[in-house]
């Protein structure tokens, strides 16, 4: 079970709702993922006019999941804060996945704008889920700003490269033992998700790897299984790595032959 801002969930899989080939593919992917939280962009909800927006929102509501609105595509503090306030009105939740993009090529967050926006939103009563890099100092500043969840990337959004910097991710886990940590962005295969969960991360958020798969619902299920396996492995306790081989079968005494002597 994972807890975000006082709300507990059985599933450790948060799934995005963009880029699916059809509404039915989205619906089946969410169901087979077992996710209890979906991310929704205010821009995505509004695409295609009011009719399309209402149809999309009706689909999301029919799934019976919690909604995490995001400020996807925002490039400045004012834009992100304004979008967050609009999302709170539209979706009726204080939750916000905060994105303040600083670079168009990598979609890397603007660290200065992210902290400033987080501080403003927390002061306004929001419960902020910041999309951030794996930079330790930046994450400390976000916690100081009032964020009670951190969402570091594994790799740039949509790249599918997996965990680019395992050392930094492990360091974050050690430094923030009591803060829920969610790997968000860059995961391309279920094995990437399992590796993050084996490190002790609390949850995984992804979209592209499922939505663009040949069979999105099947891929959603594969990720769900990997997330569960990774978490179980972490809880069971992984064996320590060693430089030298160690026999797995114990050997007692010296070899002997019943025909000797």
Catalytic residue positions, numbered: 97
Annotated binding-site residue? 207: yes
**Residues composing the chain:** 261
The residues, ordered by sequence, that sit 6+ positions from 248 with a Cβ below 8 Å of its Cβ are none
46 vs 53: CA distance, rounded Å: 5
Residue tagged 């959004």 (tokens) = 157
Collect all residues with Cβ–Cβ distance below 8 Å to 133 and sequence separation of at least 6. Answer: 108, 109, 111, 152, 153
DSSP letter (8 states) at residue 64: T
Strands 7-9 and 13-16: unpaired
Residue 53 annotated in ligand binding: no
Query: 149: which 2 tokens?
Result: 């969840």
Residue 165 marked ligand-binding: no
Give the other-Cβ count within 10 Å of 178's Cβ.
Answer: 5
Structure tokens at 81: 């804060």
Please tell me the distance from the alpha carbon of residue 102 to that of residue 108, in angstroms, as a whole number: 6
Beta bridge pairs of residue 206: 15
Residue 208 counted as an annotated binding residue? yes
Question: What 8-state DSSP symbol labels residue 224?
Answer: H
Is 200 annotated for ligand binding?
A: no
Instruction: Collapse the DSSP code of 40 into the 3-class scheme (helix H, G, I; strand E, B; otherwise coil) and give the result.
Output: strand
Q: Indicate the annotated binding residues for 1-deoxy-D-xylulose 5-phosphate.
A: 158, 185-186, 207-208
């Amino acid at each position: 079970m994972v807890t975000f801002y006082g709300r507990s969930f059985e599933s450790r899989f948060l799934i995005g709702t963009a880029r699916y080939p059809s509404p039915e593919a989205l619906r089946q992917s969410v169901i087979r993922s077992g996710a209890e939280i979906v991310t929704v962009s205010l821009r995505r909800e509004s695409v295609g006019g009011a009719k399309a927006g209402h149809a999309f929102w009706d689909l999301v509501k029919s799934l019976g999941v919690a909604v995490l609105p995001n400020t996807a595509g925002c490039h400045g503090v004012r834009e992100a804060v304004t979008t967050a306030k609009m999302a709170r009105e539209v979706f009726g939740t204080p939750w916000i996945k905060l994105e303040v993009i600083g670079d168009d090529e990598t979609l890397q967050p603007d660290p200065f704008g992210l902290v400033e926006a987080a501080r403003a939103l927390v002061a306004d009563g929001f419960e902020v889920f910041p999309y951030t890099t794996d930079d330790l100092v930046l994450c400390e500043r976000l916690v100081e700003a009032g964020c009670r969840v951190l969402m570091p990337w594994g790799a740039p959004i949509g790249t599918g490269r997996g965990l680019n910097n395992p050392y930094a991710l492990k360091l974050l886990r050690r430094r923030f033992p009591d803060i829920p940590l969610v790997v968000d962005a860059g995961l391309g295969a279920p094995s990437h998700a399992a590796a993050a969960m084996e490190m002790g991360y609390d949850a995984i958020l992804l979209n592209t790897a499922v939505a663009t798969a040949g069979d999105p619902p099947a891929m959603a299920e594969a990720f769900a299984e990997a997330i569960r396996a990774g978490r179980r492995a972490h809880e069971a306790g992984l064996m320590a790595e060693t430089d030298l081989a160690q026999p797995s079968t114990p050997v007692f005494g010296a070899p002997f032959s019943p025909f000797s002597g």
